Amino acid sequence: MKITGIAILLFFYAVYLGKMLLQKRKGIQTDQMAKGEEKDGVFYTEMILKIATYAVVVVEVVSVFTVSPGLPGWAVLLGAFLGLAGDAVFATAVVTMKDSWRAGVAEKDKTEMVTGGIYRISRNPAFLGFDCVYAGLLLMFFNLPLLLFSVFAMTMLHLQIIQEERYLQGVFGEAYMTYKSRVCRYLGRRGRKQYER
């Protein structure tokens, strides 16, 4: 399981860092986390999220190398499945976003609203990928520090989603509201009757 855990982490962060490097070559600053000029709620949420996501990586790496699977075999296998699924979902989200992908609220960048591909079944598939990887590694290498850091990071990701949704509503208006009424925050589509009212 250690090899699977290492592979999940390497693939996930290779996609993340690889996309940042590709965008940097095009003059795009991908990391917009806590870069706003105003020190408001968005800034502080992003700052705490940034710390949480860096800290959880450290705890994940330590856990993969030092913790033997302690949960029942089915839970460890479920964890491996979730981690690999998280990798696939995250990579698909990043590729689908093309050059509109940012980490954080990009107030000064003009991006396009992406609603195709994986975004037809999730408004936030990149965050869903993060959550699946966190949950998967937690099941594979369960320990109390990993539980605490993973839950904290997932909570901060959720708060970030809420901030980004407010921002997107302000930028894209009715088009985003229509999209939001049709596609669930994490996974799924709403039936026609619900959004045709």
Q: Quick: pLDDT tens for 132-168.
A: 999 999 999 999 999 999 999 999 999 999 999 998 9
CA 194 to CA 183: how far, in whole Å?
11
CA 64 to CA 133: how far, in whole Å?
13
Beta strands in the chain (DSSP E): none
Residues 6 or more apart whose CB falls under 8 angstroms from that of 169 comprise 176, 177, 180
Residues 6 or more apart whose CB falls under 8 angstroms from that of 7 comprise none
Q: Give the domain extent around 18.
A: 2-195
Q: Is there a contact between 115 and 175 (Cβ–Cβ < 8 Å)?
A: no
Residues 6 or more apart whose CB falls under 8 angstroms from that of 76 comprise 1, 69, 139, 140
Helix (H, G, I), strand (E, B) or coil at 31: strand
Closest CA to 37 of 107, 111, 109: 107
CATH code at position 119: 1.20.120.1630
pLDDT per position as a tens digit, 16-60: 999 989 888 988 877 777 676 777 788 888 899 999 999 999 999
Name the domain count of the chain.
Answer: 1
Q: Is there a contact between 127 and 154 (Cβ–Cβ < 8 Å)?
A: no
Q: Is there a contact between 1 and 69 (Cβ–Cβ < 8 Å)?
A: yes
The type of residue at 116 is G
A 10 A CB-CB count for 167 gives 16
Q: What percent of the chain has pLDDT over 70?
A: 93
